[in-house]
Amino acid sequence: MTAATSRYQRVLRVRAVEHRIAQQRLADAERRLQALKHIADRIDALRAQASAGTGVADGQVLKSLGEMAMRLENARADLATPTASALDYQNAMDSKRGAAWAREKSAIRLLQRSVEDELIARERR
């Protein structure tokens, strides 16, 4: 094995590790985004349940239900910024993962080309 082939193997190992790290970061970003979406869905479900329904209800019950609905609406609105931020982070991690994948594939091609060149050189000798 020539020095160039050996170097390409080391580069490929590094690129493979970089790609796995990028995949892990993307998975973490996706989990974070899904958690925020789950929280938003739960808030929406609680908001739907916070109604007086039909029948007789006194003023205190109506007041507390209205206050609960208002707080849930505020909580839902407060989730908009973290959700948008998590989506932006996920998109950034996805593009970094794509770039890491491309670098890994490039390293694979370089290694293959080096091995082929090495075999051709052996045959010539």
The whole-number pLDDT of residue 24 equals 98
Instruction: Check pLDDT > 70 for residue 89.
Output: yes
Q: Yes or no: say if 23 and 115 are a contact pair by the CB < 8 Å rule.
A: no
Q: Would you say the pTM of this structure is higher than 0.85?
A: no
Instruction: Check pLDDT > 80 for residue 97.
Output: yes
User: Residue 40 contacts by C-beta under 8 Å, 6 or more apart in sequence?
Assistant: 76, 79, 83
Q: Is 77 left (phi over 0), alpha (psi -120 to 50) or beta?
A: alpha
Q: What is the secondary structure of 76-111 as a DSSP string?
A: HHHTHHHHHHHHHHHHHHHHHHHHHHHHHHHHHHHH
Average pLDDT over residues 104-115: 95
Instruction: Check pLDDT > 80 for residue 55.
Output: no
